[in-house]
Amino acid sequence: MKKFFGWLSLVLWILVAAMLGGMINQWINEPKHEIYPLTVQVVELDREGDIVTCVDGAGNGWEFYGVEDWQVGDFASLLMDDNGTPENIYDDVITMAHYAGIFEG
């Protein structure tokens, strides 16, 4: 019986080590998310869908929810997450949007 519990203990330690190894490997190899600011201009408001559509200086379109006080022509400062792929903006996510003014000129 003592031999059985010795083997069982060994198997449990191997399982724990494998799990910890997998978690550490995932933590080390997980892509690093970078946060960056992006200035955009509001081009469309969908009040029924509660969607604000914006365009950045490169012509890329972005959308976020919450049309309450936004107007077409407003500038917004977006806080963006690159989703761990700095070479690809098409999977980036808006994490926060703030009013940044309006151009009057």
Considering the entire predicted model, what is its pTM?
Answer: 0.69
Q: Name the pLDDT band for 9 (thresholds 50, 70, 90).
A: confident
| Residue 56 pLDDT class (50, 70, 90 cuts) | very high
Residues 39, 26 share a domain: no
Give the mean model confidence (pLDDT) for residues 14-41.
Answer: 78
Same domain, 72 and 48: yes
Q: Is the pLDDT of residue 80 over 60?
A: yes
Predicted local distance difference test score (pLDDT) of residue 31 = 72
Mean pLDDT of 39-54: 97
The CATH code of the domain that includes 94 is 2.40.50
Same domain, 48 and 26: no
- H/E segment holding residue 51: strand 51-56
Q: Are residues 11 and 61 in the same domain?
A: no
Structurally, the chain folds into a number of domains equal to 2
> In this structure, are 12 and 42 located in the same domain?
no
Asked whether residue 96 falls in the same domain as residue 76, the answer is yes
Nearest alpha carbon to residue 50 among 66, 36, 69: 66
CB 103 within 8 A of CB 73: yes
Q: Name the residue range of residue 15's domain.
A: 1-30
Instruction: Note whether 24 and 46 are same-domain residues.
Output: no
Residues 40, 90: one domain?
A: yes
pLDDT at 100 over 90: yes
CB neighbour list of residue 30: distance below 8 Å, 6 or more residues apart: 84
Q: What is the pLDDT of residue 14?
A: 77
